[in-house]
Amino acid sequence: MLDTDDLALWYALNRLMTNYWADVDSNGGIQAHEFYLPDALYVVGNNRFEGEQKIRAFYARRRQRGRTTTRHLVDSLRVFRDERAACPDGRGDEPLPRRR
């Protein structure tokens, strides 16, 4: 039987991803940077964009090239809740260190 909290989490994450790609595909990514944390890292090939402002600049440059048509598919999103891993207080695994 499905856990209703996991289903709600799955829906929220799936909607977040589809809203992001809808903005990128249909709105030129004007709001794409708003989907990231201020210290986020966005990697496209060998290009790294660190922080919300650099991600915003990436999409601004992309819009300057004109309309870009790309097909983005989101498939097989699986969500598992592990309350222990979310609380680094000795009851679960510590979060992974940030990569630079």
What's the confidence (pLDDT) of residue 100? Answer: 47
pLDDT tens digit sequence for 68-82: 777 777 777 776 666
| Span 30-71, pLDDT tens digits | 999 999 999 999 998 999 999 999 999 999 999 998 887 777
| Amino acid identity, position 1 | M
The pTM of the whole model exceeds 0.75 = no
In tens, the pLDDT along 3-13 reads 556 788 888 88
Asked whether the predicted pLDDT for residue 1 surpasses 50, the reply is no
Q: What is the pLDDT of residue 96?
A: 52
Per the CB < 8 A criterion, the answer to whether 72 and 5 are in contact is no
